[in-house]
Structure formats: structure tokens, C-alpha cells
Amino acid sequence: MANSRKKVRLGIVGAGIWGSNHALALHDHPHTDLKLICDLDEVRAKTLADKFGCAWTTSLDSMASSDVQAVTIATPDHLHRDPAIHMLQAGKHVLVEKPLATSIADARAILAAADQAGVKFMVDFHARWHPLFMGAKSYIERGDLGNPVMGYARLSDTIYVPTEMLGWSGRSGPEWFLFPHVMDVVRWLIAREPVEVYAKGHRGVLSGKGIDCFDAIQALFTFEGGASVTFETSWIVPNSYTNVVDNRLSLYGEKGGLELRNEPNLWVFTDRFHTPFASESVTRYGKA
Ligand SMILES: NC(=O)c1ccc[n+]([C@@H]2O[C@H](COP(=O)([O-])OP(=O)(O)OC[C@H]3O[C@@H](n4cnc5c(N)ncnc54)[C@H](O)[C@@H]3O)[C@@H](O)[C@H]2O)c1
């Protein structure tokens, strides 16, 4: 019986925009008990903890020595290393927000700590649990598309995100904040790894505003078996765009194809054309 299961005691490090979503999801989950929220900013930690009726702290040591069994890390992109390693060394299971890190050295250090700790460790690639992507995956797993031939994946944000929403965008960039999602989802959908990559980036608009990162990047990947996929990302989409997020994906195989797009969201063209279902959350994120 589902509800007789023992609940997992959980903590969250980082009580900002996305940590608040972790709290919402974890608090509502029937098998989790949200116990402790940690943020260096006392007001953020307390405000979020009060909302969900749990304890708060500003100290990673307190989180490490608490009885929580698993911790999610939602600190800024370039600040995942210290809290992740601290929690792993304390024997906690850890889920880190994407990107795992913004440098190879940080990524290797976190992975070494995870290997050493022998706990459960994962990066939050939540597109894998989104009904649209799961729907797409089921067609590919059934073989309806045949061997992958080519694809296109775009994940972009309006310029509001780096200039107004995030306080640390100059320490990250669209390649860290956005690309991990689409690159993970394409690898997962076609079950192949990339073998070659060519990429071009543009700088100037954001750096002109004092935010030192790429404006936009296009990359052409070749995957095992020869399929090629173009990935593109922009952090300078004008705020006049209909959504904060612009997310599109198309995949073509030897027999069929599919596209995730606006209204209806999943188009599938195999032996027939059909649009199995629609989902609002991808297309309306951030705007009413
Ligand atoms: N905002 C989004 O839409 C979104 C979506 C998906 C994933 N994410 C990811 O979630 C992570 C957090 O993003 P955000 O938008 O919530 O950032 P944010 O700036 O809103 O929040 C980050 C919080 O971490 C705290 N913090 C920093 N270092 C800390 C430390 N050592 N210990 C405890 N707290 C610390 C900060 O005080 C801040 O409150 C990022 O990796 C981001 O890529 C964000």
C-alpha cells in the first residue's frame, strides 16, 4: 500500500526561484517529508520554510549533521560544487540542479565525491518526466520512427531571464542554464551518444549590459550511427515574445518523425499523422 511506505526525510539547499519549486513538489509528494531548508540568505530560508512548515538553517554543516536522508541542491549554476560535495560527504543522497557544474574540474570533483559516498546521485533533468517528452520517447522506443536521421532542438529564453530574473547570469550562460535540458533529452530519446560537435556562439548584447556570457549558440552534433542534430539556444529573445521560454524539438527517423511544437504540442507522422495530446506547461511557462 503506497501510503504505508516510510517517508524519505528531505532537505533543500538554495531557497531561490527553483528551490521554491523543489519545496512545492517535495512537500506535496506522498512519500517524502520535507524537513529542512538551507539558504545563505536567512530571510529566504525562513520564508520558504515557514510556507511549508519545516525547519530552516543558513549553515551547510547543520544540513549535513541533520537526520535528512536526501538533499536537493538548487544554488546558482556556478555554486553547485561546495554544497553537493558537503552533502555527499555527509552520506546524503543528492539531486543537483542542472547544470551539474560550469567547469570540468567542478564536475569531476562532484562525481568523485558521489562515487566515494556510494549514495544515490542524480542531476535534475526533469524533461524526462514530462508527459510530452515521455510520449515522444514511447514512439521512438516502439520503433515507429526507425533509426534516427536528423533532429533540431531549441531551448531559448527571453532576455528577461539573464537581465532581470537571475542575479548571477554572468557566471553562467545559455549553454549552462538551457542546453543541458535539450542535450539530455535528445540523448535520452534517441538512446545514442554524440561523437562529434561543431558550435558557434555570439556575444555582445548581454556583455554590453555588463553580463559576461554568450547571447546565443548553435551547435551541430553527430551521434553514434550518423544522425545529426542541431541544437540552438538564445538568452536574448525579445521580451515581446509570447512566452518566457521557447522550446521546440523535432526528430526525423528513417520511417517517421515527430515534433514538439505549439498547439497541439506533439505532432507524430509515421504511417499516419496524429496529434496524441496537448500539454500547456511547456508553451505557457512564465506568461499568462
Ligand atoms: N529559475 C529557473 O527557471 C530554473 C529552472 C530550472 C533549474 N534551475 C536551476 O536551479 C538552480 C537555482 O536557480 P534559481 O533560479 O533558483 O537561483 P536563485 O538565485 O533564485 O536561488 C539560488 C539560491 O541559492 C542560495 N545559495 C547560494 N549559495 C548557497 C550555499 N552555499 N548554501 C545555501 N544557499 C546558497 C542563494 O542565496 C539563493 O537564494 C540553478 O542551477 C538553475 O539553473 C532554475
> Torsion over CA of 57, 58, 59 and 60, rounded to 10 degrees?
90
Q: What is the mean pLDDT of residues 261-272?
A: 78
The closest of 109, 116, 112, 75 to 95, measured between CA atoms, is 75
Q: Does position 22 have pLDDT exceeding 80, yes or no?
A: yes
Residue 276 Cβ < 6 Å to ligand 1: no
Q: What is the mean pLDDT of residues 206-234?
A: 98
Which residue has the least CA distance to atom 21 on ligand 1? 16
Q: Does position 136 have pLDDT exceeding 80, yes or no?
A: yes
Burial 42-79 (b: 16+ CB within 10 A, else e): eebbbebbeebebbbbeebeebbebebbbbbbbbbbbb
Residue 39 Cβ < 6 Å to ligand 1: yes
Q: Does position 93 have pLDDT exceeding 70, yes or no?
A: yes
Distance between Cα 167 and ligand 1 center (Å): 10
The reported pLDDT for the residue numbered 273 is 85
Distance between Cα 129 and ligand 1 center (Å): 21
Confidence of residue 239 (pLDDT cuts 50, 70, 90): very high
Sign (positive or negative) of CA dihedral 144, 148, 151, 153: positive
- Residue 89 Cα to chain centre, angstroms: 24
Whether residue 76 is preceded by a cis peptide bond, meaning omega within 30 degrees of 0, is: no
- CATH class assigned to 2-124: alpha beta
The number of the ligand 1 atom at minimal distance from the alpha carbon of 79 is 28
Residue 162 Cβ < 6 Å to ligand 1: no
Q: Does position 107 have pLDDT exceeding 80, yes or no?
A: yes
Q: For 168-184, how does the pLDDT look when each residue is reduced to its tens digit (9 = 90+)?
A: 999 999 999 999 999 99
Residue 13 Cβ < 6 Å to ligand 1: yes
The yes/no answer on whether domain 127-284 falls in CATH 3.30.360.10 is yes
Which residue has the least CA distance to atom 15 on ligand 1? 17
Residue 114 Cβ < 6 Å to ligand 1: no
Q: What is the mean pLDDT of residues 123-128?
A: 94
Tell me how far apart the alpha carbons of residues 229 and 251 are, in angstroms, rounded to a whole number. Answer: 8
Q: Does position 282 have pLDDT exceeding 50, yes or no?
A: no
Confidence of residue 267 (pLDDT cuts 50, 70, 90): confident
Q: What is the mean pLDDT of residues 45-74?
A: 98
The reported pLDDT for the residue numbered 80 is 98
Which cell numbers in the block locate residue 116? 566515494
- Residue spans of the domains in the chain: they are 2-124, 127-284
Which cell numbers in the block locate residue 232? 540552438
Q: What is the mean pLDDT of residues 222-247?
A: 95
Residue 30 Cβ < 6 Å to ligand 1: no
Confidence of residue 274 (pLDDT cuts 50, 70, 90): confident
Residue of 75, 166, 287 best suited for mutating to test ligand 1, as the one with most atoms within 8 Å of CB? 75
pTM (predicted TM-score): 0.92
Residue 14 Cβ < 6 Å to ligand 1: yes
Phi, psi of 104 (to 5 degrees): -65, -35
Across the chain, mean pLDDT equals: 93
Distance between Cα 228 and ligand 1 center (Å): 33
